[in-house]
A and B are shown apart, each in its own frame.
Chain A
């Protein structure tokens, strides 16, 4: 009788341990997926941030006239001699429509476009939010309505960029989120 009790007991304990190990493995697998997804999102944000940093610090470089010619919540068009060749370049940032990425399960993702001069729009990254906020020399926010006028656009001294990237597919029912935010004060404004 004792023998059978020992045997059944050991089976129960062993079964519980096997279940625990199985659950742990599933957890590790999910964690690895999340980690990989998060790393991918971070990579996306880092790439976008690097490009934005490179361009935005150069706004107005070697431009004598109007420097920012369009400024809105999710788009900006400015002039800069971005390649330092003596000729003015136009750079335009804007976000596309969510319908362009309807193939992904994430309903909010859209492409962030960058157009240099008259070249075709380029986009390497999908974002779920791209928001620009504009400030004057006293660090007072300029409302988007005012920015329809070039006079007000000339007051822009600082731009805050907010970038949010989510994974295209949910990981364990939730979308992986990475955010990036920075205030840039281009020296040529």
Chain B
């Protein structure tokens, strides 16, 4: 009996020991399994979170870099000379944008390089945009014709070739964008058989004699508002042209005697001859007008805006000469006569008392060609957008400056 009891006790002990081992195995096994699953799951969640954060960070840094570049381009259009040569930093969209704006030469063209580095939580995106400099030149709306005047042009144009069709910098004809050949506020008679062409309603008319009536604008009513000063022609504050001329910017010059001009002309050339001045030393002139002056640009590549004006609008230039090269730009004068030169751009005469008696002949070898591109180049020195057009607008997916290349 005692032996049987001992055996039972032993079996019981053995059974509990056996059960304890199983329980231990189950607990430890379960713990290990849970740990493995947990680590695996955590690893996946961590990887997923890291990927999300990384993708978001990369996208955000890209947004920062691109947005900053766009903002800079817009700003340059308003502040033409704005440059940042040493990197500067700006906070944007929760990150930072480090930017630099410099001038650079690409394939022979001077462009503005906008380099931006967007940084968001150490995700870095570099963007570089190469943009064209703002074009600040404009064609004044007063330019109705290759030759525009507030008085009679019959004698002044002589027998020249006058073409109001648009031309590029190299004298190539540009269709549909031209102006009249002649525009005057009085009647016009082509007395000296000039060949005249032009554009009306986007239809181009080649130069011919007799000219097509569509290339002439006569008796145009300016509503009594034909400008009386060169500054008014350009829509800028009075005194601006004279001030730039006196500053010497881009070769500009201001003289009171045409003989003092330094050649070639460029920038703004302001010739102001007062009524009481007599700078004319050509006493043998058969025009018998000793108060008149001459401008001789000799054989130079002159360009820009040439102004011949005084405060009373009575400057008289009896002759303007240039050989071998055309004058490229805008000529604005009170009274001018004897145009012995080629003009690529436009001419505007302000005086109502233009030449009606004298005649100028032998001008069949000269031309006046309208060129909006050349006029824009000439007026770009003013550093402003046209006051007449209301500036340049822009919208979705459009840049305020022309972007040549964008690297990201």
Interface residues of A (CB under 8 A from B): 3, 6-7, 10, 13-14, 17, 21, 24-25, 28, 31-32, 35, 39, 42, 57-58, 61-62, 84, 187-188
Contact A17 B26 (CB under 8 A): yes
Contact B40 A188 (CB under 8 A): no
Residue among A32, A39, A62 with max Cβ neighbours from chain B (10 Å)? A62
The 4 closest A-B pairs by CB, nearest first: A187-B406, A21-B29, A62-B405, A14-B22
Contact B47 A39 (CB under 8 A): yes
Q: Which chain B residues border A10 with CB–CB below 8 Å?
A: 15, 18-19, 22
What's the dominant secondary structure at chain B's contact region?
helix
B408 adjacent to chain A (CB < 8 Å): yes
| Assembled-state Cα–Cα distance A64/B321 (Å) | 42
| Assembled-state Cα–Cα distance A35/B44 (Å) | 8
- The residue on A at minimum CB distance from B407 is A61
Contact of B405 among A7, A13, A24, A188 (CB under 8 A): A188
- The residue on A at minimum CB distance from B406 is A187
Q: Which chain A residues border B407 with CB–CB below 8 Å?
A: 58, 61, 84
Q: Which chain A residues border B405 with CB–CB below 8 Å?
A: 61-62, 188
Q: How far is the CB of A63 from chain B (nearest CB, A)?
A: 9
Contact A61 B406 (CB under 8 A): yes
- Classify chain B: how many residues form its interface, as a range: 20 to 34
Q: How many A-B residue pairs have CB under 8 A?
A: 48
- The residue on A at minimum CB distance from B403 is A187
- The residue on A at minimum CB distance from B26 is A17
B33 adjacent to chain A (CB < 8 Å): yes
Give the residues from 366 to 408 in chain B that come closer than 8 angstroms, CB to CB, to chain A: 403, 405-408
B37 adjacent to chain A (CB < 8 Å): yes
| Assembled-state Cα–Cα distance A35/B29 (Å) | 22
Q: Which chain B residues border A31 with CB–CB below 8 Å?
A: 37, 40
Q: Mark B54-75, 1 if CB is under 8 A from A, else 0.
A: 0000000000000000000000
Contact B406 A32 (CB under 8 A): no
Question: Contacts A10-B22, A17-B22 given: A24-B403 contact, CB under 8 Å?
Answer: no
Q: Which chain A residues border B29 with CB–CB below 8 Å?
A: 21
Contact A35 B408 (CB under 8 A): no
Q: How far is the CB of A172 from chain B (nearest CB, A)?
A: 16
Contact A21 B33 (CB under 8 A): yes
Contact A3 B11 (CB under 8 A): yes
| Assembled-state Cα–Cα distance A24/B32 (Å) | 11
| Assembled-state Cα–Cα distance A14/B25 (Å) | 10
| Assembled-state Cα–Cα distance A63/B82 (Å) | 27
- The residue on B at minimum CB distance from A60 is B405
Contact of A57 among B30, B47, B408 (CB under 8 A): B408
Contacts A31-B37, A61-B406 known; list 15 others, CB within 8 Å: A6-B15, A10-B19, A14-B22, A17-B22, A21-B29, A21-B30, A24-B33, A28-B36, A35-B44, A57-B408, A61-B405, A84-B128, A187-B406, A187-B408, A188-B405
Contact A58 B408 (CB under 8 A): yes
| Assembled-state Cα–Cα distance A21/B407 (Å) | 57
Contact A28 B33 (CB under 8 A): yes
Give the residues from 10 to 55 in chain B that come closer than 8 angstroms, CB to CB, to chain A: 11, 15, 18-19, 22, 25-26, 29-30, 33, 36-37, 40, 43-44, 47, 51
Q: Which chain B residues border A25 with CB–CB below 8 Å?
A: 33
| Assembled-state Cα–Cα distance A32/B25 (Å) | 23
Q: Which chain B residues border A39 with CB–CB below 8 Å?
A: 47
